[in-house]
Amino acid sequence: MSEHSDAPLDKLWREYGEVFAAFDDLTLARWMAQTLGQLQGRVWRSSHPLVGAYRLAAQVAHDRQIWHKRLATAPRDYPEAACCRAPLLPLITRDVPEQGLICQHCNATAIAFDDIPVDVQKMLRNWAAKYAPIHQVAHWDDRQQKRAGNYDRALEDAASEAERLLAAAGNKLGPALLEFYPAVLWEDQDECLDVRPEDIPL
C-alpha cells in the first residue's frame, strides 16, 4: 500500500488505518506487542486479516517512532530489526535475492540476503530463480507475445505455475525460516499475473 497513491484500494487501506491513527501512543504500543505475541511461532500469509491489521498499525507506529519510546515490551523472542529498530517481522517476496526479507514496519530490508542462514539462502535463491521467468510473462513485450503464439494461454500457464510456487513459499520456505525467526510472512499474491490469495490453497 502506498501512502500517497490515489488508487481506490490504497485510499481504502488508508481509511482502514484511521482506527490506529486515533490510538494514543501507549494504546498503540500495547496493541502491537500483544499482536506480535499472537503472530509468534507461525508462518502467515501476507493477506491474513490479522497481518493486514498489524501492518496498518506498524505504519502508524513507524511514523510516530513508537518502538523507540519503549512504551511496551515486545515478546522477548523478537529481536530488533536493523533497519528501524522495531521488532523483527520479516516478509518473503519474489525479490528476496535482491532485497532480502522485508520489514513490516518501515518496508526496508529487514534482513539482507547474505545474512539469511546459508541453507535457507539456497532454498530461497532456487525458488526465486524459478519464479522470475514465470512472473516475467506478464511483462512480455509485443515481440515476445507474438513468439508465444497464444499469449493468453501463456499467461494462464504462468499464473498456474505462480500459484504453485507461491504455495511453496508458504509450505516450505516459511517453515524453514521459522527455525530462525519468531514469525514469518509470505507474499501470497501476484497482481501482475492476477493471482489472488484465494487462488493459493495450502
HEC sequence for the chain: CCCCCCCHHHHHHHHHHHHHHCCCHHHHHHHHHHHHHHHCCCEEECCCHHHHHHHHHHHHHHHHCHHHHCCCCCCCCCCECCCCCCECCEEECCCHHHHCEEECCCCCEEECHHHCCHHHHHHHHHHHHHHHHHHHHHHCCHHHHHHHCCHHHHHHHHHHHHHHHHHHHHHHHHHHHHCCCCCEEECCCEHHHCECHHHCCC
Count Cβ atoms below 10 Å from residue 53 Cβ, excluding itself.
Answer: 16
d(CA 94, CA 116): 15
d(CA 182, CA 71): 21
Q: Are 182 and 77 in contact (CB under 8 A)?
A: yes
- Percent pLDDT > 70 in the chain is 98
Residue 49 backbone phi and psi in degrees, to 5: -55, -35
Output the nine-digit C-alpha cell for 22: 486515533
- Percent pLDDT > 90 in the chain is 91
Confidence of residue 8 (pLDDT cuts 50, 70, 90): confident
pLDDT digits (tens, 9 = 90+) for 24-78: 999 999 999 999 999 999 999 999 999 999 999 999 999 999 999 999 999 999 9
Prediction pTM value = 0.91
Q: Are 43 and 186 in contact (CB under 8 A)?
A: yes
Q: Are 200 and 170 in contact (CB under 8 A)?
A: yes
Confidence of residue 161 (pLDDT cuts 50, 70, 90): very high
